[in-house]
A and B are shown apart, each in its own frame.
Chain A
Amino acid sequence: MMPPILAHLVNVLSFAIVLLLVAVVGLLAMLALMRVVLARRERKYDARKERVRPLVMDLMTADGSPEEAAWKLDHLVASRDKKALEQVLLANGRIVKGPEKEMLTYVFEALGFVDEDIENVTRGSDMKKAESAFHLGVMKSARSVPYLLRELRSSNQAVVFASLNALSHIGTPEAISGVMDFMTSDHKLRSSRVAEVLLEKKREFAPLIRERLVIGEARGELLWLLIDVAGAMRDTEAVPVLIAYLDGAGPDAMTVSKAARALGSIGDQAACAPLTNALRDGSPLVRAAAAEALGHLACKDAIGALTGAIHDVDLNVKVNVAFALTKLGPRGHEALTASLSVGEASVAEALGTAAVRSGVPLGVDPR
């Protein structure tokens, strides 16, 4: 026979277990119900988008005026479908340019979507701000630029990135200049992300980057970023200012080596002579970068200087020199073979590394 206290405990425990089970089942049922409701709402929303899509497509592929398109969308789309309409227009805004993009920019403004998103950027939560900033970029709303510039000071990185992205899409002088000023004053952002934004709108940013590349305008990480971006853009107009870094006595070795690499990426033969001179720089960082760039540019006149530089005291320089010589046709190849016959162990090592990197097996005509 169970003592009464124990029986009581068993009863309480059983009741607790039943209660817990009921709670779990209730919770699961509620989650399932929420899922059904959300899925239904999503289906309804998708149906709304499908309802407006043909009209949007029709207007985007017609040769009508933006005013006519805005009028039709305003009068033919029910007010409850306006949010779905904005989404469909935004989806199209991301994939078109030219007259269709201009038409959409007009429509976004005329239907009040720009006002709504500016309102969100000004007063919304951080999530709303970031979303609306992104929308304003797709809308190419020049009117929203001052509001987006203000958000570059936000403490929320998502808001800053979205605003930065939007400004680069809008691309007006005010927007681009604002982004560049922001970069000069604030280096907290990961530079690779900023570089992505700059590269995305290279035509708009290139002149401003060139302006800031002038010696003395920028320094440190910002300058290195700008040099990298100019190289990645293959901005031929930046060649003279980049060459100036090679010739000048002031800049630090990292800056000069970055300028040398950028010149190699851009591919202008005007850089051959200054890069050849840089093979005699005091810094191995600069000499290595110059050798690599000479290889990318395939500077034929640099063969003599490169052949001498294969005996550099720094192994990285040797590797890059060997790499450059593999890119210089039969004469470069002969120079490589001659260097190897000297029997210097580190030269052989450099040649091996360079051959792997350039994909040119030694002994094969690299042309």
Chain B
Amino acid sequence: MIESPVIVVAEDDPQIASLIRFRLERIGCVVHVGDDGEKALNLINEIKPNLVVLDVMMPVMDGFEVLRSIQSSPDTRGIPAIMLTAREAEDDVLKGFELGAVDYMSKPFSPAELAARVNAALNGRHG
């Protein structure tokens, strides 16, 4: 794994965002949080993180739009994305993968499991 991977988390619920931050910092990640899709995308374009965790339902821009934007830019295209959402609909899961997400978790979620999936994605053990 990269020594101190940089992660951008796009999540509008502060409780969930801080839980993810605490958990990922514990495994040595540097975490930046954007509380809406647009802010997260700005962070992604600015920082070029090693991985992004995207909530699907967010104000301003939803997670799918952010993912589409990441994939369409040559600067950010290779960044792996994990989708996190309350919606368990099969269509959403498929849409996330079609847009290039490497993994998917539904809320409520286990922070420990998310950390394990982040690790796997950073090591390229997905798909």
Chain A residues close to B by CB (< 8 Å): 53, 57-58, 60-63, 91-92, 94-101
A92 with B112, Cβ < 8 A, contacts A61-B26, A62-B26 known: no
A98 with B113, Cβ < 8 A, contacts A57-B18, A92-B15 known: yes
Which residues from A are CB-within-8-Å of B19? 57, 60-61, 92, 95-96
Assess whether B13 is interfacial by the CB under 8 Å rule: yes
Give a binary string over B2-33; 1 marks a CB under 8 Å from any A CB, 0 the rest: 00000000000101101100110010000000
Which residues from A are CB-within-8-Å of B109? 95-98
Which residues from B are CB-within-8-Å of A53? 18
Q: How far is the CA of A100 from the CA of B113 in the complex (A)?
A: 10
Which residues from B are CB-within-8-Å of A91? 15
Q: How far is the CA of A340 from the CA of B7 in the complex (A)?
A: 59
Q: Which of B15, B26, B112, B113 contacts A95 (CB 8 A)?
A: B15
B113: nearest residue on chain A (CB-CB)? Answer: A98
A95 with B107, Cβ < 8 A, contacts A60-B19, A61-B23 known: yes
A95 with B22, Cβ < 8 A, contacts A61-B111, A100-B112 known: no
Chain B residues close to A by CB (< 8 Å): 13, 15-16, 18-19, 22-23, 26, 107-113
Which residues from B are CB-within-8-Å of A57? 18-19, 22
Q: How far is the CA of A62 from the CA of B22 in the complex (A)?
A: 9
Which residues from A are CB-within-8-Å of B16? 95
Judge whether B112 and A97 touch: CB under 8 Å.
Answer: no
Q: How far is the CB of B31 from chain A (nearest CB, A)?
A: 12
Which residues from B are CB-within-8-Å of A58? 22
A60 with B15, Cβ < 8 A, contacts A96-B109, A99-B110, A100-B110 known: no
Which residues from A are CB-within-8-Å of B22? 57-58, 60-61
Q: How far is the CA of A350 from the CA of B18 in the complex (A)?
A: 55
Q: How far is the CB of B98 from chain A (nearest CB, A)?
A: 19
Q: How far is the CA of A61 from the CA of B19 in the complex (A)?
A: 8
A93: nearest residue on chain B (CB-CB)? Answer: B108
Q: How far is the CA of A96 from the CA of B109 in the complex (A)?
A: 5
Q: Which of A62, A63, A94, A96 contacts B110 (CB 8 A)?
A: A96
Which residues from B are CB-within-8-Å of A100? 110-112
For A53, A62, A94, A96, the residue with the greatest tally of chain B CB atoms inside 10 Å of its CB is A96
Q: How far is the CA of A95 from the CA of B18 in the complex (A)?
A: 12
Q: Which of A60, A94, A99 contacts B108 (CB 8 A)?
A: A94
10 A-B interface contacts by CB (under 8 A): A61-B111, A61-B112, A95-B16, A95-B19, A95-B108, A97-B109, A98-B109, A98-B113, A99-B112, A100-B111
Q: How far is the CA of A95 from the CA of B111 in the complex (A)?
A: 10
Judge whether B15 and A98 touch: CB under 8 Å.
Answer: no
Which residues from A are CB-within-8-Å of B112? 61, 63, 98-100
Q: How far is the CA of A53 from the CA of B108 in the complex (A)?
A: 19
Q: How far is the CB of B60 from chain A (nearest CB, A)?
A: 22
Q: How far is the CB of B57 from chain A (nearest CB, A)?
A: 14
The 3 A-B residue pairs with the shortest CB-CB distance, nearest first, are A98-B110, A61-B23, A61-B22
A234: nearest residue on chain B (CB-CB)? Answer: B90
Which residues from B are CB-within-8-Å of A60? 19, 22-23, 111
Judge whether B110 and A97 touch: CB under 8 Å.
Answer: yes
A91: nearest residue on chain B (CB-CB)? Answer: B15
